[in-house]
Structure formats: structure tokens, C-alpha cells
Amino acid sequence: MSDRDAARPTPRIPRGFRDLFAADLAARRQMVQTIIGVYERFGFEALDTPAFEYLDVLGKFLPESDTPAGGVFALRDDDEQWMALRYDHTAPLSRFYAQHGNRLTNPFRRYQVGPVWRQEKPGPGRFREFYQCDFDTVGTDSMVADAEICAVVATCFEALGIGRGDYILKVNNRKVLGGVLDAIGLPQDQSGGRLTVLRAIDKLDRLGEDGVRLLLGKGRMDASGDYTRGAGLAAEQIEIVMGYLGACVSDRQEVCGRLRELVGGSEEGEEGVRELEEIHDLLDAMDLGPDQVLFDPSVVRGLAYYTGPVVEAVLTFEVEEDGEKRELGSLLGGGRYDDLVERFTGEKIPATGASIGVDRLLAALEALGRLEADRAERPVVITIFERDRMADYQRMASDLRSAGIAAELYLGKKGFRQQLKYADKRDSPVAVIAGSNEFEGGTVTLKDLRLGKKLSREITDREKWKEQPAQVSVKREDLVSGVRSLLERHS
């Protein structure tokens, strides 16, 4: 191997990151536009904040805060201040509201769509860079805003083709769990004991009851040998917490009754139960039944900043990936965070919101067979026969683009057959063909590539193939209307 070969870098991508192809991006764009349409219908307006925030502004709220740099990607700015890539859209929103709250409507309702980054251990379906679609209401403590989260999410799912029976929203209240922890005598100290309990419960779906029991007790070692320190609860305390987790039934009012017994008269716990009862009445008023929204005490959310109602959304079916069936996990998470803005202002500003995980939702739509990008956006390909007529071909492309039709010239050097293969690979709907005969006659030939694919599977007779309508000739001045007519066949 020469020194020159040795100096060449190996093309590779960092763990937990990925490349996205045009079809992936088109599908995501179409899905996100549907979600944004629902957000705006509910009165939320767009906001964009920087990818980087100062590290102290973001705060340490991630579930795995013991990982390097607190689970974030951080660097030191030229003024020696630490900055980090945002790990969600909520912490930046709190900073934004603290800076600009006097200029905003109150309550302030906003949505934000974009990538976030977490320095976590990557795994199947778990990336270090991923997209989120957030919506939040800042400036109200009304449970209407919390109940409305369920309405927004249900509307989004059903607008995307995920109907009733395919998803369930799970709602809980952090205050109720606080009441249970009061009842077992776990103090609200600064050592993080309560937060360790929260994070243990948050892993119930992934680790099961036995795994959570270990994390509530001495700790747990996973298959890779990594050890997670436990909350150190006594056996009788663990049993009370596990009984709390088993309080989920389909009747939301019955769940509230069971939780009231478990909080043992705790003022915080009683307040949490009352808030759930109010949310139940509001859900009934919005016709969101138990087949859409359940009260599930096991939902606590891993982020440390939640202070009240919390919500998750999951699918009720498994998806197949690499020949194996697996659950997609939570498609949405959110809840109330009344203390975040107070970090900056010293004044308690109530807030609540949720975030849809774009990547998992895309996988869900693909599993349901409801993921299809707008095929009309694929470009019409103009094939090249006469190299000295490039200006004429360029005018054809310009005419189509001016009419709002995506179009491109074939820029390779291969023959006609290869040009059509190129158009097929681009999933082009139409190929424009103009050689010397067409130029002399003032015409162009339009080949409906999608219809041609369909007919090639159905027609075997040579004479019938000649009669097929996948190729037509039109006058040059009718190029735009002719192409549009072929596109409308498939719209």
C-alpha cells in the first residue's frame, strides 16, 4: 500500500447517525406538513431556535445524566463559555420565553420542528440525531391545555392514517407518584433518590417488572456488563411502588379511585388525582374514550423537569424489521413543566406540551403501508438526442418549471436506452423525447413511464403493445399541457 493510499480516509459515519435519501426526506416532509396543519388548526404558531444553546441554559434534565457531558454534545465557544447542541425543543423554548415573554401573547402557543441531539448509547431505532415535532402552551395552569395535548395527538395520528385501535395515549401525573413516595417515606432530598425511582419506573416497558424491581433496589447489570445503580428502596417500599404501577385499568375514574387510596392523604398526591379527574372530564367532552386515552401510573417520563400531568403515545401492534417483530416504543412524550422558565426569571410560569418523534412515526406509517411521498414531485426527464440543440432542450425544461412542474435535462453521455433507465431509476413520471424528426415536425413525444411500467406487466402481445397509450405525440407549444395531462392520470 502506498503512502497516498494509506492517507485516504475511510468513508464512514459516526455511530448513532445516518444518511437520509431523497425518498426518506420526501416522506418525512409530507408527514410533517400534515402534523403542522393540525398544530395550526389548534392555534399553535411556528418558532425556530438555534441548534446550540449555552450549557447552563439547557440544564441537566436528561434521563442518562451520568453519561459524558450530561448526555449532550458540548464544546467551548471562543469566549470560553460551554455550548451544547439542544437535546430537545422544550429547554430552548423556556429560554426564549424568559427573554421575550413581555412581547408575546399570554398564554403563548408555539410549535417547533427540527433535529435534536443526545449523546446516548445508540441501538436499533435509537439515534443520536433525530427529529421532533413539538407543540407547547406557556403561561396557563389550566388542565384544558394538558387534556388538549391528547386531542392534538389523536387528530395528528388519524390525519396520518393511524386510526382508533392502532394507538393508545397513556396519561399520568407526576404529583401522584410524589404522593406515593411520600407515603413510603422517601424524602425529597438533593441526592436524587426520587429521580432514580422515576427513571427506574420509566424503564418498565423495556425491562419488565423484574428489571424495575432491581433498579428500585440495589441495582441492575445488563447483558453487556454495564451496571446501573438502584434507588436503594427496602423490600416493602418496592412492593408499594409496584402496586402503584399495577393500578392501570380501562376505566379512568376507577384508576383515579385506586390512586387516591395509594397516595395515603399526601397533599401533593391528592392534588395530582384531582387534576387527573379534571382531565378525564375534559377528555369525555372531546369524545376521547378509553380506547384512545388511558390513565397509566407507569408513565412518568425520564426527563427531570416534569412537574404534573405526563403523556406518552404508543402503538398497539408490532412492526417487522430485519425479519423480526418488535415494538416501536413511545411515539410521543410530553407533560407539564411549571418550573423551567422560573430557572431564568425567578417567577413560576406554568407550561405544558408534547413532542412527536418523527423517525418512529415514519416507521409506524411504513409498517401500516401508509407511507408514500408525493410522487408528483419527481422530475420529468428531458432526454437528449441532438447535442447541438441543448438550448432548445433547456427551453423545454424552463417552460415546465415555469408552469410549476419539476423537470431536469439528462446530463450524462449515454444512449437513449440508458437515458430511459436513468429516468426509471429517478422514478420520473414522464420522459420528454425530441430528436431530429420531432424538431422538424414541431412536436415532442411524451412517454408515460409509470403507465408504461404497469402495462409492461400486463401486455405480452406485440401488436397490443403498439396500441398502448403510454406514449403520445403533442405539438411543441402543447408540451406543458401534455405533460400535465399525463401527470393527472396518477394524481
pLDDT digits (tens, 9 = 90+) for 239-275: 888 888 888 888 999 999 999 988 878 999 999 999 9
Within-domain flag for 293? yes
Q: Output the pLDDT for position 8.
A: 87
pLDDT band at 303; cut points 50, 70, 90: low
Residue 226 clears pLDDT 80, i.e. is over it: yes
Is the distance from CB of 466 to CB of 417 less than 8 angstroms?
A: no
Which cell is 154 given? 389523536
From the list 413, 360, 417, the residue with the least C-alpha distance to 390 is 413
304 and 445, same domain (yes or no) = no
Q: What is the pLDDT of residues 351-398, one digit of tens each?
A: 999 999 998 898 888 887 777 655 447 899 999 999 899 999 999 999
Residue 36 clears pLDDT 80, i.e. is over it: yes
Q: Output the pLDDT for position 47.
A: 98
Instruction: Tell me the β-bridge partners of 459.
Output: none
Which DSSP string corresponds to 406-449? -EEE--S---HHHHHHHHHHTT-SEEEE--HHHHHHTEEEEEEH
Instruction: Kindly state the average pLDDT of the residues 437-453.
Output: 91
Write down which residue in 367, 388, 414 finishes a domain: 367
Return d(Cα 486, Cα 491) in angstroms, integer: 9
Q: Output the pLDDT for position 66.
A: 47
Which percentage of the chain shows pLDDT scores above 90?
58
Residue 319 clears pLDDT 80, i.e. is over it: no
Exposed/middle/buried for residue 380 (C-beta within 10 Å: 0-12, 13-18, 19+): buried
Q: Output the pLDDT for position 192.
A: 63
Return d(Cα 336, Cα 339) in angstroms, integer: 9
Beta strand pairing call for 380-382 and 407-409: parallel
Q: What is the pLDDT of residues 153-192, one digit of tens each?
A: 999 999 999 999 899 999 999 999 889 988 888 877 645 6
Query: Residue 412 belongs to a domain with what CATH number?
Result: 3.40.50.800
286 and 348, same domain (yes or no) = yes
Query: Distances in Å between the alpha carbon of 333 and those of 202, 368, 421, 428?
Result: 12, 21, 45, 38
Within-domain flag for 284? yes
| Structure-derived torsion over alpha carbons of residues 316, 171, 246, 218, reported in degrees to the nearest 10 | 100
Query: Residue 337 belongs to a domain with what CATH number?
Result: 3.30.930.10
From the list 305, 292, 181, the residue with the least C-alpha distance to 244 is 181
Write down which residue in 337, 367, 397 finishes a domain: 367
Return d(Cα 374, Cα 377) in angstroms, integer: 6
Residue 200 clears pLDDT 70, i.e. is over it: yes
Is the distance from CB of 405 to CB of 380 less than 8 angstroms?
A: yes
Name the helix (H) or strand (E) containing 482: helix 479-488
Which cell is 68 given? 459524558
Q: Output the pLDDT for position 67.
A: 45
115 and 51, same domain (yes or no) = yes
Instruction: Kindly state the average pLDDT of the residues 115-125.
Output: 86
Return d(Cα 156, Cα 292) in angstroms, integer: 13
358 and 391, same domain (yes or no) = no
365 or 43: which leads in pLDDT: 43
- Residue 348, CA atoms < 13 Å, CB-side half-sphere: 8
Exposed/middle/buried for residue 177 (C-beta within 10 Å: 0-12, 13-18, 19+): buried
Which cell is 139 given? 403561561
For residue 227, the SS3 value is strand
Instruction: Tell me the β-bridge partners of 352.
Output: 137, 336
Average pLDDT value for the chain: 88
Residue 329 clears pLDDT 80, i.e. is over it: no
Buried b (16+ CB within 10 A) or exposed e, 268-306: bbbbbbebbbbbbebbeebebeeebbbbbbbbbbbbbbb
Return d(Cα 156, Cα 38) in angstroms, integer: 6
Q: What is the pLDDT of residues 402-444, one digit of tens each?
A: 999 999 999 988 788 999 999 998 889 999 999 999 999 999 9
User: Which of 4-8, 139-143, 340-344 has the least mean pLDDT?
Assistant: 4-8
339 and 413, same domain (yes or no) = no
Question: Residue 9 gets which letter from DSSP?
Answer: P
User: Which of 77-86, 187-196, 238-247, 275-284 has the least mean pLDDT?
Assistant: 187-196
Q: Output the pLDDT for position 365.
A: 87
The parent domain of residue 421 ranges over 375-488
345 and 484, same domain (yes or no) = no
346 and 463, same domain (yes or no) = no
- In this structure, the number of other CB atoms found within 10 A of the CB of residue 220 comes to 20
Domain count along the chain: 2
Write down which residue in 340, 367, 394 finishes a domain: 367
Question: Residue 89 gets which letter from DSSP?
Answer: S
Q: Which amino acid is at 229?
A: R
Residue 480 clears pLDDT 70, i.e. is over it: yes
Residue 68 clears pLDDT 60, i.e. is over it: no
271 or 460: which leads in pLDDT: 271
Which cell is 432 given? 420528454
Residue 65 clears pLDDT 80, i.e. is over it: no
183 and 35, same domain (yes or no) = yes
User: Which of 118-127, 231-240, 305-314, 466-475 has the least mean pLDDT?
Assistant: 466-475
Is the distance from CB of 417 to CB of 425 less than 8 angstroms?
A: no
Q: Output the pLDDT for position 106.
A: 93
Residue 137 clears pLDDT 80, i.e. is over it: yes
Q: Output the pLDDT for position 185.
A: 86
pLDDT band at 465; cut points 50, 70, 90: very low
Q: Which amino acid is at 268?
A: E
